[in-house]
Amino acid sequence: MVCDKTCKWMCIVSYIIAALGAIICSWNHLVESQKVEIPKGFSIVCLIGGVITLICAIRWTFRAETPNVLV
């Protein structure tokens, strides 16, 4: 695939952003006395990260390649 390295880094960054969004969201639900104010822009970035993460996961699931376990 042409964008293997670019797509790989985009997926890794998206995983990190989506994970940060999930951690902050969970924290807000678990600890009601210490709410974290989440800016709308950060929420949108986390949403985009989550969507890209989902697309990457679906792509990697249906990839026809067999991984080389010796490398």
Amino acid present at 32: E
**At a CB cut-off of 8 Å and minimum separation 6, what does 34 contact?**
27
Q: Print the domain residue range for 23.
A: 4-61
pLDDT digits (tens, 9 = 90+) for 14-51: 888 888 888 888 887 777 777 778 788 888 888 888 88
Q: Pick the residue with more confidence: 68 or 29?
A: 29
- Domain assignment present for 55: yes
Buried b (16+ CB within 10 A) or exposed e, 30-47: eeeeeeeeeeeeeeebbe
- Domain assignment present for 68: no
Q: Give SS3 for 8.
A: helix
pTM for the model stands at: 0.63
- Domain assignment present for 56: yes
